[in-house]
Amino acid sequence: MIRISVPATSANLGIGYDTLGMAVSLYSHFTFERAEKLTITGCPEEFQNEDNLVYVSLVDALAEWGEKPFGVAIDIQTDVPVARGLGSSSTCVVAGIMAAAALTGHTVTREELVAMATRVEGHPDNVAPAILGAAVCSFTPEGQLPRCLRYDVSSRLRFLTIIPPYEVHTADARKVVPQQVALSTAVWQMGRIAGLTRGLETGDTALIAAANDDRIQEPYRRALIPDYDAIRETCLEGGAATMWISGSGSTLMAVTDDTIVAKFLQVRLQERFPQCATHILTCDTEGAQIEYL
């Protein structure tokens, strides 16, 4: 029996549309054991079948290595909400691939895991930090494997995560983003991506706030989150340096370097938005982990 733990991730980080992502201290835990037939527990009944993304990813990995599917008992225990912009699907994909390797004796590097998971997900911005930990800037040269630049994130930073009780579907979020941007907008983004990654490394919240001024996706996606403006105002008034949409939403993530500010702000948010779940998170630095039970 093996146990795989995969962190949630926040993609884009405001300014880094489809390029930046960060692992955070919220986790999905999966246990796997060979069995006579497929059984899946710990998730809603409609996902307890061969279409479960964990099992699909396991089978796809086996096929890549020329291995046939086999019976497996899978248990899923997760704190990562589904379809809220925290990389829940990436945790499933990464766990399935890692389990396929472990249960068949294959050895894979983290770089190979990123490449395999990217083929399933279609993009590396969530799976890369889920595997590597920390903050990651990813790009895929044509015809080549993904290239991932890993940035350590200051341990002083706290990421106050606000999760509304409704989904924003990725397809809908992509529809509202313009397919072409002005050169001036591209230049605006490029400098700020460098500023944001440096701010995360150093814990400089003033730099993070100055850099987090996106003009590509957040001005359009915020309209899909009814609570966006009110939550942003509450966060900034309460001492947060800045706030971004996590992935395609609906989760919002505020940044501070003061744990006390984060706790007071969490109380204020719970009072004003009782329908939203809140977490005070740090950056996960280890990425996906596996242990034999």
Annotated binding site for ATP: 81-91
User: Following CA atoms 114, 120, 125, 130 in sequence, which dihedral angle do they give, to the nearest 10 degrees?
Assistant: -50
| CA 62 distance to own-chain centroid | 25
> Which residues line the annotated binding site?
81-91
**CA-based nearest residue to 162, from 258, 281, 77:** 281
CA distances from 264 to 34, 63, 206 (A): 47, 50, 20
Structure tokens at 202: 């150093």
Q: What's the farthest any 2 CA atoms get from each other in the chain?
A: 59
Burial of 100 (0-12, 13-18, 19+ CB in 10 A): buried
